[in-house]
Amino acid sequence: MATERSPVPLRLNPVDRHGKEINPAVLAAAEEVIPSALEYGLKMLRDPALVANVLEEVAAAVSRQMSSKDPPGEPLPIQNLAGYVFRGFVRRVNRLKSKQPPLVSSDGDGQPQTVRWADPTRALETKILVGECLAQLDFVTRDMFWRRAQGYSWRDIGKIHGLSGHAAEVRFRSALGRAQVRLRRGRRSLPSATRADQTEELKPAMQNDGEK
């Protein structure tokens, strides 16, 4: 496969990734602030998909707020809807950023972002978990993994596989849970000295990975 990769422009869905609907007026306001949101969001979060998700979530929250407070037919109490959405976006991005694990390196060349945790043990454990998951998931749950990684809602994922959103989520989570249990059992079955040696052996390789 050697095709040219085409850049995908940022577009918002009328439903956020949790399946919450976005009011058309709020969606239009959110689309209006996409350039500013991208500029700020990419600086803070470095992932356009994450920026889009956050903006959609904020738009959905604003939509809910409007529908719960405004009687139908009344004018919107928010004077500057786009500004309101953008301020909500900034607050949520800042909150996410403050919760984000520390980054030790990143690249900003438009390629998918490099996110590494500063704690090498944590990074190693997560890599092993990801590998373990992918090795153990069946075709359907692995497809769910790909789509979830791309920010699909469980409802959308369920639709693709002929399931309800909830059933899809339950199926995926139980498969992931099984992978975690196997991973823990694998750890326990190793004598502690061997585990430590193994971790030491893996550390340099992981650090080299980090230098790539």
Partner 1 sequence: MARNRRREFSEDEFFGFAKSYLSEAFPNPQRIGCPADSDLMRMGEHPVEARDAATSEHLTHCSPCFKRYMEILAALKQQSSRTP
CB of 90 to partner 1, least distance (A): 18
In the list 23, 81, 152, 158, the residue contacting partner 1 (rule: CB under 8 A) is: 152
Regarding 185 and contact with partner 1 (CB under 8 A), the answer is no
Cα dihedral 205, 207, 208, 212, rounded to 10, equals 140
For residues 28 and 22, is the Cβ–Cβ distance under 8 A?
no
Regarding 5 and contact with partner 1 (CB under 8 A), the answer is yes
Q: Which of 43, 41, 42, 12 is nearest to 28 (CA)?
A: 12
Binding to partner 1, residues 11-40 (CB under 8 A) = 11-15
SS3 158: helix
Regarding 199 and contact with partner 1 (CB under 8 A), the answer is no
- The Cα–Cα gap between 125 and 128 comes to 5
Regarding 135 and contact with partner 1 (CB under 8 A), the answer is yes
- List the structure tokens of 147: 């789509």
CB closer to partner 1 out of 139 and 201: 139
Regarding 136 and contact with partner 1 (CB under 8 A), the answer is no
Regarding 132 and contact with partner 1 (CB under 8 A), the answer is no
SS3 85: helix
| DSSP per-residue string spanning 27-43 | HHHHHHTHHHHHHHHHH
CB of 38 to partner 1, least distance (A): 15
Which residues contribute to the site for partner 1 (CB under 8 A)? 1-3, 5-6, 8, 11-15, 47, 49-50, 100-101, 111-117, 122-123, 125-127, 129-130, 134-135, 139-140, 142-143, 145-152, 156, 160-161, 173, 176, 180, 184, 209, 212
